[in-house]
């Protein structure tokens, strides 16, 4: 008795595109288990993914504050000329200002950078630990 496959290369390609970490053999095995029904295959992959992500985050709570610490946005950036501090801002404020100026008027950012360089100012990144 000959059994026919209920899936083709396009089914395998779809699973591989949607799940880059999946191997070709795993995709074929998954399709065989579910008789080529892609929705059942995708449901199983989602269940496995959500179960593995719960295992990885078990015991760890992620808050916005911990992510800020990882990005070091709680650090300070200061602009100095010789021994005097001209500006000292938290990194997240400076980042917000730079992005706003870059979007609204990039020429102001360019002029500011040239002025800082020509006046001999130094920009310091200070980690607060």
Q: How many Cβ atoms sit within 10 Å of the Cβ of residue 27?
A: 21
Q: What is the DSSP string of 34-101?
A: TTT-HHHHHHHHHHHHHHHHHHHHTT----HHHHHHHHTTTSEEEEEETTEEEEEEEHHHHHHHHHHH
pTM exceeds 0.75 for this model: no
Give the model confidence (pLDDT) of 70-125 as tens digits.
556 678 888 888 888 888 888 888 888 888 988 988 888 889 889 888 999 888 88
Calculate the CA dihedral of residues 97, 101, 107, 108 and round it to 10 degrees: -50
Instruction: Give the model confidence (pLDDT) of 42-58 as tens digits.
Output: 888 888 877 776 655 55
């Amino acid at each position: 008795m000959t059994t026919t496959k209920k899936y083709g290369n396009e089914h395998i390609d779809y699973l591989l595109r949607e799940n880059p970490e999946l191997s070709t053999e795993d995709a074929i095995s998954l399709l065989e288990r579910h008789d080529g029904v892609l929705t059942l295959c995708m449901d199983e992959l989602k269940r496995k993914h959500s179960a593995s992500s719960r295992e990885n985050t078990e015991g760890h709570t992620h808050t916005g504050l911990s992510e800020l610490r990882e990005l070091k946005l709680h650090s300070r950036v200061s602009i100095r000329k010789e021994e005097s501090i001209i500006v000292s801002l938290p990194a997240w404020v400076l980042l917000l200002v730079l992005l706003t100026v870059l979007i609204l008027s990039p020429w102001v950012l360019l002029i500011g950078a040239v002025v800082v360089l020509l006046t001999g100012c130094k920009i310091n990144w200070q980690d607060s630990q």
